[in-house]
Structure 1
């Protein structure tokens, strides 16, 4: 999980949209909390060779059926124990309440859905394995990997140099922060902190994005320019402030911004993403990665399966279904440079 995006922090800061879908989210949270931390909640793969992403997503995704076939040459790369088992045990750290659009209980109040478990199912299909989804708290997700209960985590885990001491990674998504503005706003972040001058921006307290924003504020102050930073108790209050014009923008994790843009599309105050910034800072593009036990032999076949999905178009369609196309990577890499030790 990114250092700026713990599941518990997401829940506390309200990145599950609460203004337009409060009732539905309460239902989802209740359903997920009732789901045992080690229980399987895997959606059924459709007809042979088809994986449907966005099922039961309660509006977080556009349901999309994708044709995915086993690649026997990649299956042959798997460790013998995994290949013989015929299944890929996928860990998700979504307890107690989950986070749309990443991982949460769907509209049937039992099936774990979201971009992360769906991508795990796509990768399993390429590997010719049956996906078995196990849901944990964030901390117990890593215990599951360590103990062998989990083959791989697809749970918005950031590649960091600290985590590389114990885990191998296969990257599959950019780890981005984003600015959220009203759709009618003409402002966009161009990658340079200078164009934040004169704005009022909200951010979550104690987050990595707050650290970045306050650094920009200090730089602007030295230049005699002003950036006002405001804090609100939860995401609902932030949404109201944005809708009423009390703030110009919100700065937070890109998946949450993308989710709210979809959820608010037909409301009086629709929002949009107004530019992204790497969660690892200006010098390194942060990456989200499939996470396996170090030395397990899974990282290469996982990366090869992801690259197969990229090359054949299913990857782009999966991201588009969840409004996350701006987090696409050109290729999956095994253990790429991660968030440095002094910031991880």
Structure 2
């Protein structure tokens, strides 16, 4: 996201991708994605054939996403005062090398290969492009495995990673962060349901909720189940072999809600919108637990001098409303932040 009994963020992040992809086994987007990766050659690191940004600062958010994102054209002017904050080497290069750890299979809606079977799309690459535009730099995206993305940062081959990386105190020993999104879990219910979760576990009394085994959200849900049991109330927890089975159970009224990663839910809500049983998000909860709001952050090599100008670029996008448009395009508005923080408090060393 170890809190006691909870997985570390790398382990939780990768199952998030696996859970999303299992639920996309028959989807057109997954088919296009698999073909696209094969076309790229399947190596450990692939530079995107198209960076998806025009030289005039125009970024088409949600492009080539097969419906995962709402295509939105944004024109972002370079800001000289923020560009001047960049380390001279990066500023003079005219490029921002952006790492995305989406190999081998991608993780929509966050990062995956688009329908042209070449371009990296998703909320993470799109924000990288927007930040590069503010900095007056050409975005150069490279796709790698999760582990090799960090190798790229360590070696200096990559300037910054936009890859759903959670800010943790352990990672801050090696990296600097500029936060840009809340790290949330969410509850998915049928759109017809009147139930909502507003942060109080007592709202779960009498409910039946599905969750993935061995996940951070399972540990949180089981903790709430024990609290309710001690209060003489019941929460029924259900498990299913994959997301398709979970969603069928939700459609059929066998469960009241699914508790999972918020981006996973955001993606499914958009995919399910035109079906007979559309769903909605009934509330979120910090993946870091009740006492700390987890944050997703742009990740740079420690002391590289990049975190501050990237944070200022994100703040500029927030002020201009383009950040909100980016979130909305990917159905992630409930993960928005008021400002980008450089190295904010992260998950503690004993649970990160």
TM range (shorter): over 0.9
Give the aligned partner of residue 23 of structure 1: 28
Query: Does 2:172 align with 1:156?
Result: no
* Structure 2 contact 32–114 (Cα < 8 Å) conserved: no
In structure 1, stretches of 5+ residues that fail to align are none
Partner Cα distance (2:11, 2:336) in 1: 18
Under a length normalisation based on structure 1, what TM-score does the superposition of the two structures give?
0.96
Partner Cα distance (2:21, 2:166) in 1: 18
Structure 1 pair 47–89 and aligned structure 2 pair: CA distance change class (3 A)? closer
* Structure 1 contact 243–269 (Cα < 8 Å) conserved: yes
Query: Does 2:241 align with 1:233?
Result: yes
Give the aligned partner of residue 271 of structure 1: 279
* Structure 2 contact 20–108 (Cα < 8 Å) conserved: no
Q: CA deviation at 1:217?
A: 0.5
The residue correspondences of 1:189-338 to structure 2 (distance < 5 A) are 189-338=197-346
* Structure 1 contact 74–305 (Cα < 8 Å) conserved: yes
Give the aligned partner of residue 97 of structure 2: 89
Provide the aligned C-alpha RMSD in A. 1.6
* Structure 1 contact 7–99 (Cα < 8 Å) conserved: no
Give the aligned partner of residue 9 of structure 1: 15
In structure 2, stretches of 5+ residues that fail to align are 2-7
C-alpha offsets along residues 18-74 of structure 1, whole Å, 9 cap, x if unaligned?
38x623312313323543432221433236231111100110111001110111111
Partner Cα distance (1:47, 1:73) in 2: 19
Partner Cα distance (2:157, 2:12) in 1: 22
Aligned length: 343
C-alpha offsets along residues 178-233 of structure 1, whole Å, 9 cap, x if unaligned?
00011111111011000101111111111111111010001011011111111111
Partner Cα distance (2:93, 2:199) in 1: 47
C-alpha offsets along residues 296-327 of structure 1, whole Å, 9 cap, x if unaligned?
00010010100010011110000010011111
Under a length normalisation based on structure 2, what TM-score does the superposition of the two structures give?
0.94
Partner Cα distance (1:23, 1:74) in 2: 40
Aligned to 1:164, the other structure's residue is in SS state helix
The residue correspondences of 1:30-45 to structure 2 (distance < 5 A) are 30-35=35-40, 36-41=43-48, 42-45=50-53
Structure 1 pair 9–33 and aligned structure 2 pair: CA distance change class (3 A)? farther
Query: Does 2:130 align with 1:122?
Result: yes
Aligned to 2:20, the other structure's residue is in SS state coil
Give the aligned partner of residue 64 of structure 1: 72
C-alpha offsets along residues 163-187 of structure 1, whole Å, 9 cap, x if unaligned?
0000000000011100001111111
Partner Cα distance (1:111, 1:56) in 2: 8
Structure 1 pair 32–43 and aligned structure 2 pair: CA distance change class (3 A)? same
* Structure 2 contact 96–159 (Cα < 8 Å) conserved: yes
* Structure 1 contact 37–134 (Cα < 8 Å) conserved: no
C-alpha offsets along residues 236-282 of structure 1, whole Å, 9 cap, x if unaligned?
11111111111111001111111111110100111110000001111
Give the aligned partner of residue 105 of structure 1: 113
Partner Cα distance (1:235, 1:150) in 2: 34
Query: Does 2:140 align with 1:132?
Result: yes
* Structure 2 contact 12–215 (Cα < 8 Å) conserved: no
**After the TM superposition, which segments of 4 or more aligned residues of structure 1 sit over 3 Å from their partners?**
4-8, 14-17
